[in-house]
Structure 1
């Protein structure tokens, strides 16, 4: 899975402000390289559990740093960013909705509307009334797609998250892309978009992976208790 060289896979959870920032840029990046953007909704909490991690919002000092970091980037890039209605919040319903079986263009429009509702409009996207309103604003029938989210959407989200873990995805936003030489690589975080762009241009600063083989041989000599 996630091995089609014609696609740029974008793994996201609406709970992530960095995923919102990346979402505003990744469609143009995919188009520039002639790739089809494939959004993959995943449950961030599921990734954290699978890899034994805490989320940034669960570490107060890290959470405070990330707020300033994201605000700084949004201000510099001219991306609208407003305080979320609450955070962390339960993203299951909007994620299941984002897994719906709409045609790609309509699904991208819905995902964009849900991201904007969360991070540009401070709306409570975990609440059914908000989801109904967003669907209506996007020109979609709320009953049809909320029913889809409550049924097939649950399984699609679970499968997406399990497949992402199997592919080595550990956080959001994450991207998987294949360059012209046929090398498939994972990129993580908004700040990695720059390096993914270089990778797809054939200008990866790392060069040949074989030149760095010694790094893969490093083993721990101490571990902290858990």
Structure 2
């Protein structure tokens, strides 16, 4: 799964401000490299649980640093960024909306509207009424979409997406996966990794080949913290 060389897989959760920043750049990168953008909604909390991690917002010092870091990047890049209604918030309903069955263009527009509502407009996207307004403004039938988002297929799709992402090595959002050829995929994580993904796709990866660095894969821990 996630091994089509013609696609750029973008793993995201609306809870992530860095995912919003990356969303503003990823379509252009996909076009530049002739790839079809494939957004994959995943539950960030599910990734954290699978890998035994805490989220950045759960570590106060890290959370404070990330606020300034994200604000700095948004200002530098001219990406609108407003304080969210709350954070962390429950992203399940907007994620399930992003899993509903719609054509590719409709899906991209909806994801963009949901991201924008959360991070450029500070709207409470965890609440059905706020989402009803976002859907109506996007020109779709809000009742139909909210009903589908509450259905078992949408819930199952989000769960399967998250499980498949974990199996593919995804541990955080945003994450991007690209393949030079079937079975030869590379994972990039975080907004700041977009630069290296671009170089990789250009054939200019600073890493060179994995074989050059095989010794790094043999390093084992000599001490571990108790859990």
Task: Please state which band the TM-score falls in when normalised by the shorter chain.
Answer: over 0.9
Aligned residues: 226
CA–CA distance in structure 2, aligned partners of residues 60 and 72 of structure 1: 19
Work out whether residues 94 and 131 of structure 1, in 8 Å CA contact, stay in contact via their aligned partners in 2: yes
Cα RMSD, aligned residues only: 1.0
Work out whether residues 93 and 149 of structure 2, in 8 Å CA contact, stay in contact via their aligned partners in 1: yes
Work out whether residues 5 and 182 of structure 2, in 8 Å CA contact, stay in contact via their aligned partners in 1: no
CA–CA distance in structure 2, aligned partners of residues 147 and 128 of structure 1: 11
Q: Which residue of 1 aligns with 2:81?
A: 81
Work out whether residues 50 and 165 of structure 1, in 8 Å CA contact, stay in contact via their aligned partners in 2: yes
Gap change, CA 1:63 and 1:158, over 3 Å in 2: same
Q: Which residue of 2 aligns with 1:27?
A: 27
User: Does 1:184 pair with 2:185?
Assistant: yes
Shift of 1:105: 0.4
Shift of 1:183: 3.2
In structure 1, stretches of 5+ residues that fail to align are none
**CA offsets 1:23-66 (integer angstroms, 9 cap, x no match):** 00000000000000000000000000000000000000000000
Q: Which residue of 1 aligns with 2:64?
A: 64
Q: Which residue of 2 aligns with 1:4?
A: 4
Q: Which residue of 1 aligns with 2:162?
A: 161
CA–CA distance in structure 2, aligned partners of residues 202 and 181 of structure 1: 16
Matches within 5 A, 1:61-210: 61-151=61-151, 152-179=153-180, 183-210=184-211
Relative to the length of structure 1, the TM-score reads: 0.98
CA–CA distance in structure 2, aligned partners of residues 22 and 153 of structure 1: 24
Runs (4+) off by over 6 Å = none
Shift of 1:148: 1.1
**CA offsets 1:65-119 (integer angstroms, 9 cap, x no match):** 0000000000000000000000000000000001111100010000000000000
